[in-house]
Amino acid sequence: MTQASVLFEVQDGCALVTLNRPEKLNSFIPDMHARLREALAASAAREDVRAVLLTGAGRAFCAGQDLGERVVAPGAPPPDLGQSLGTLYNPLVRALRTLEKPVVCAVNGVAAGAGANLALACDIVLAGRSARFVQAFAKIGLMPDSGGTYFLPRLVGMARAMGLALLADSLGAEDAARIGLIWRCTDDAALMGEARAVAAALASGPTKAYGAIKESLYASPHNTLDAQLNLERDIQRELGRTEDYREGVAAFKEKRAPAFRGR
Ligand code: LHQ
């Protein structure tokens, strides 16, 4: 029996999603797309999932598109990369950003091409010290995709975005954390422990507030201050009606830890 290209398991409110083609540096083939889409859809739908932790098996996080699939024979018509993005990669990025639950990414090794941008689409990105981020696209005659041209300038500013995209060099995890591309760099051996702890903390938190934080922070770069103030007013109104808000305030008054239920 062939191994599943994506592993999915739920434990203590957290869905662990593992890209699982280690012999191909977890590069994307259609089956991996389909299974990752399924895992994210299940994470969205299941009430017992309140946070997602995404990682890769083996020495890489993800090397982007499997280029073994992309060799064009002489004389053959050119591939429609737009179709591949429109039907496979873009839906994944959208699914991560619109999931109303926090997504932690543990970058356990190299993250290249669409693999790098898949990581950047997650909400909190931790990386082991030996991990690296490579906007490899220009090396094969392409430009960053899967949200790369959107995420890079917003995360690290235009000068660094341009350098990373044009030069397509490897950026180590420590430098990635230093310039604000990711949340934190950890020792390799500590990565999964720290990532699990972050995901577990989020899985026992106020899930609706986390969904609201994602929605409002991701809307922020496009909004005027006025529009953002209105958005905060409207979403906070909704949060004020949640059980978790009641519980948070009660716990504060009673000087105890809150028991959030994600409702
Ligand atoms: C691979 C790959 C790989 C297959 C390493 N595929 N085998 C999607 C479709 C639609 C539109 C266009 O855009 C996209 C999105 C994209 O993602 S395009 C960008 C695709 N990815 C890349 O260009 C990255 C290519 N890989 C690399 O640059 C390096 O391999 C990295 C930086 C990932 C790792 O470098 P090393 O650690 O030095 O490992 P390596 O190069 O020796 O690779 C190990 C093996 O993995 C090797 O196979 P081999 O049989 O020689 O051991 C590689 O051929 C294979 N591999 N990436 N994407």
Residues 99-108: tens digit of each pLDDT: 999 999 999 9
Q: So what's the pLDDT on residue 141?
A: 97
- How far, in Å, CA of 110 to CA of 59, rounded? 8
**Residue 88, ligand 1, Cβ within 6 A:** no
Burial classification of residue 191, based on how many CB atoms lie within 10 Å of its CB (0-12 exposed, 13-18 middle, 19 or more buried) = buried
Q: Please, are residues 133 and 155 in contact by the beta-carbon 8 Å criterion? A: no
Q: So what's the pLDDT on residue 73?
A: 82
**Residue 158, ligand 1, Cβ within 6 A:** no
- How far, in Å, CA of 151 to CA of 39, rounded? 23
Dihedral sign, Cα of residue 86, residue 69, residue 97, residue 5: positive
Q: So what's the pLDDT on residue 69?
A: 74
Please identify, in words, the CATH class of the domain defined by 207-253: mainly alpha
Break the chain into its structural domains and give their ranges: 6-203, 207-253
- How far, in Å, CA of 210 to CA of 123, rounded? 10
Pocket test residue of 65, 108, 170 for ligand 1, highest count of atoms within 8 A of CB: 65
Quickly name the fold that domain 6-203 has.
2-enoyl-CoA Hydratase; Chain A, domain 1 (3.90.226)
Residue 241: count of CB within 10 angstroms of its CB: 9
CA of 63 to the centre of ligand 1 (A): 5
Q: Which two tokens stand for residue 151?
A: 């995420």
Q: Please, are residues 131 and 108 in contact by the beta-carbon 8 Å criterion? A: yes
Q: So what's the pLDDT on residue 233?
A: 98
Q: So what's the pLDDT on residue 1?
A: 46
Place of tokens 């397509």: 168
Q: Please, are residues 202 and 210 in contact by the beta-carbon 8 Å criterion? A: yes
- List of the chain residues with pLDDT < 70: 1
pTM assigned to the model: 0.97
Q: Does the fold of domain 207-253 match that of domain 6-203?
A: no
